[in-house]
Amino acid sequence: MFIRHHSCFPVPIPRLTLSHRLANLLLTPAVQTINFRFGHVHVFPSHFRAVAAAVRAGTLSVAFDPVRLATEGSLAEYDSGNDTFSFQSDMVMETAGGRATAVHEASHACADFRNRDTAIRHEEGAAHICEAWYLLNCGIDPTTAHLPANVIKAATDMRDRALPSVPVRATGTEINTVRRDMANLKYENAFYDNDGI
Ligand SMILES: [Zn+2]
């Protein structure tokens, strides 16, 4: 039998652009099953799909800002003012922890897409829950990401209550304890301006 070898040496697979990888991430089941209301902050699969579509269309920009983000100690950031995701490096999307950070930032883009101002501790609480929920979906212990205890408890319990297609409602206790975590992380008791994308 004749076996034809197409290639005798390894060929590097071209990497997708960062914006493609971000858009693809938001369409994976590990993100598309994150579905909840955290008071007035809602994070639905349809919002992540809208953000993915905006990234693909270029309505939302994806940029590298290594020096500033390294100085601030952030892997990634979303700026609702100029509708731009910034990443510290091309490698952020290569680890589950980095992708969890991207999902956190994408939830801020979801709030911007919804075009309404939010209480900072609510929006950050929801973003941290997204991060923990994503890691749980990947089978990774969220304590490895140094997330606060109440965030992990709320994400674990909300994920356990999740039903297909129905957003889970955070309880009053979950909102209050996670807001306390956000206060401990020095997030202000103020509002984020989300002006649409
Ligand atoms: Zn955040």
Residue 124 alpha carbon to ligand 1 centre in Å? 5
pLDDT of residue 105: 98
**Ligand 1: centre distance to CA 120 (Å):** 9
As a whole number of Å, the CA-based R_g of the chain is 18
* Confidence at residue 152, expressed as pLDDT on a 0 to 100 scale: 98
What the block records as the tokens of 16 is 């997708």
pLDDT of amino acid 9: 63
Record the tokens describing residue 80, joined without a space: 């609702």
Residue 19, both tokens = 């914006």
Q: What is the pLDDT of residue 13?
A: 65
Distance 4 CA to ligand 1 centre (A): 52
> How far are the Cα atoms of 28, 51, 150, 164, 174 from residue 24, in angstroms, in the given order?
7, 11, 29, 21, 30
* Residue 25 DSSP SS3: helix
Ligand 1 centroid to residue 180 C-alpha, Å: 15
pTM (2 d.p.): 0.91
Residue 12 CA to ligand 1 center (angstroms) comes to: 35
Contact yes or no for 181/151 (Cβ under 8 A): yes
Cα 187 to averaged position of ligand 1 atoms, centre (Å)? 9
Q: How far is the CA of 182 from the centre of ligand 1 (A)?
A: 10
Alpha carbon of 75 to ligand 1 centroid (Å) = 11
Q: How far is the CA of 70 from the centre of ligand 1 (A)?
A: 16
Mean pLDDT by 10 residues, the chain (197 residues): 56 78 97 98 97 96 94 94 94 94 97 94 98 97 93 98 94 98 96 91
Query: For the chain, which residues make up each domain, given as ranges?
Result: 18-187
